[in-house]
Structure 1
C-alpha cells in the first residue's frame, strides 16, 4: 500500500509542478501586496481551513499575512489567498464578493469547470488515491498538496522580496 501511495502522491506533485507558470504568477500577485502597502489575507474552506493558521502564524509564514475574518477590512492594495478542497457554493459566493470589491486573489482548489478565476492553481487532489481490497479508495491528500504548493509559493515570494531588497 505504501508503494501505491508513494507513486500516486508523486503523480499529484508532478501535476502541481506542471503549473509552474500559474504558481509564478500567483507568487508575483501576492508579493505585490507584501512589497507594497497591502497585506495578504488567507482564507481556507473545507479541509484547507486548517491551513490558515500555518500560513499566517508558523515560522515560515507568509510575510504581512493574516487570517481573513469577517471583520477584516481589505482594499485594492491587499491580496487574498483562497484555499479549498472543493469548489462549492461557499467558495463561489466568497469569490463573487471579492470580484465585486475588485480585490485580487489567488485560488488554490481542485479543478472545476465553473472556475473562471484568472489566478488559479489546481490542487490536483480530486479523489482518494489508494485502492483498497473492497475496490474503494482511501487517502485524499489535500493538506499534503496544499503544503507542497505553499512551500513553492513561499520560496518564490521570498526570492522576490530578497531581490527587491538587495
Structure 2
C-alpha cells in the first residue's frame, strides 16, 4: 500500500509542477510584491489546511513577512492594500473560501488561492491567482472499488513550498539589484 501511495503522491506533485508552473510563478510574484514593499503576507487554510499557517509562521524557515489572517479568537487581521492574502482550501467550490476571497478583493486586497478544481472554479474567479492542487479524489483504490488516502495537506504544502521558494528567489534577485 505504501508503494502505491508514494507513486500516486509523486505523480500528484509532478502534475502540479508541470501544469501549474506559470500560476505558481505568477502567485509568487504577487506575494513577493507584498514582501518587497511594506506589506504582510496573510495566510489562511480551511479545515486541515490550517496546518499550513503553522508551517508558514512557526517553522524553522517561516514564509517572509507571514502572519495568520485570523487571530486565535477568530477575528480577522486588519488587512491593507499593500498586504497579500494566501488562501488554502480543499476545493474551488468552497463557498466560505470564495466569500472570503470576494470580500478581500472588494477591499482591494490581492489574493492567491490554492485548491482543487472540482467543477465550477468559483475560487479562481474570486482570486487574482488560482493554483490548482489537482487533488480531486482519494488516491488509493480499495478492493471494493472505493478509494481512500486524501492527502490535502501534503499537496497544499507542496504548493506552499513552491510559492515560498519562488518568493525567496524573486526577493533575492530584488536585493541584488538595489
User: TM-score band (shorter)?
Assistant: over 0.9
With normalisation by structure 2, the TM-score equals 0.88
With normalisation by structure 1, the TM-score equals 0.94
CA-atom RMSD, angstroms? Answer: 1.3
Q: Residue 26 of structure 1 corresponds to which residue in structure 2? A: 27
In the alignment, the residues of structure 1 paired with residue 50 and residue 3 of structure 2 have an alpha-carbon distance, to the nearest angstrom, of: 29
Q: Give the match's secondary structure for 1:85.
A: strand
How far residue 83 of structure 1 moved from its aligned partner, in angstroms, is 0.4
Q: Residue 114 of structure 1 corresponds to which residue in structure 2? A: 121
Name the count of aligned residue pairs. Answer: 166
In the alignment, the residues of structure 1 paired with residue 8 and residue 86 of structure 2 have an alpha-carbon distance, to the nearest angstrom, of: 27
In the alignment, the residues of structure 1 paired with residue 89 and residue 36 of structure 2 have an alpha-carbon distance, to the nearest angstrom, of: 26
Confirm whether residue 145 of structure 1 aligns to residue 146 of structure 2. Answer: no
Q: Residue 87 of structure 2 corresponds to which residue in structure 1? A: 82
Show structure 2 runs of 5+ residues with no match: none
Q: How does 1:7-156 map to 2 (within 5 A)?
A: 7-18=7-18, 19-69=20-70, 70-86=75-91, 87-112=93-118, 113-115=120-122, 116=125, 117-156=127-166
Q: Contact 2:110/2:128 (CA < 8 Å) preserved in 1? A: no
Q: Contact 2:44/2:68 (CA < 8 Å) preserved in 1? A: yes
How far residue 6 of structure 1 moved from its aligned partner, in angstroms, is 2.1
Q: Give the match's secondary structure for 2:63.
A: coil
In the alignment, the residues of structure 2 paired with residue 88 and residue 66 of structure 1 have an alpha-carbon distance, to the nearest angstrom, of: 22
Q: Deviations over 1:117-145 (max 9, x none)?
A: 33000111111000112222111111111
In the alignment, the residues of structure 2 paired with residue 24 and residue 42 of structure 1 have an alpha-carbon distance, to the nearest angstrom, of: 18
